Copies of this chain bind each other. A is one copy, B any other.
Amino acid sequence: MRIGELAARAGTTTRTLRYYESRGLLSARRAVNGYRTYDEEDLKLLRQIRTLQDFGFDLEETRPFVECLRAGHPEGDSCPASLVVYRRKLAELDELIEQLTSVRAQVGAQLARAEAAVPGGPEPKCELGGHA
């Protein structure tokens, strides 16, 4: 299959495929007229890359998975190097989620404080002081 079809089947663009090739992630045979030619195995590689990209992996981080598949393994994560990336990414995600949760709490606290200070904003639902 040619680049347009591969891109369509993977839900991406030809530009993206050429970019991956320039990064050494996806190689292509060439037809006599110079057109890139791909097979089902390339589609598998490409889908592996896209899945990891959707997870937020850097392109470089997908390389071990691609090389693993190229080496003939059934899955991109059938190799130790891929597992290392998984573990590192998990640690990064945990760190990031923790930071964002902390920021969320701080921003939430700021909002609550500011709303309390601005009359007419929060529309207080309970009257804390005084009965009249």
Q: Which of B75, B79, B86, B111 contacts A83 (CB 8 A)?
A: B111
- Picked from B56, B82, B104, B107, the residue with its CB within 8 Å of the CB of A103 is B56
Interface residues on A, range: 20 to 34
- How far apart are the CA atoms of A75 and B55 in the complex, in Å? 39
Q: Which residue of B lies closest to A120 (CB)?
A: B80
Q: Among the listed B80, B107, B118, B121, which residue makes an inter-chain contact with A93, where contact means beta carbons less than 8 Å apart?
A: B107
Interface string of A41-75 (1 = CB under 8 A from B): 00000000000000110000000000000000001
Binding site for B on A (CB under 8 A): 55-56, 75, 77-80, 82-83, 86-87, 89-90, 93-94, 96-97, 100-101, 103-104, 106-108, 110-111, 114-115, 117-118, 121
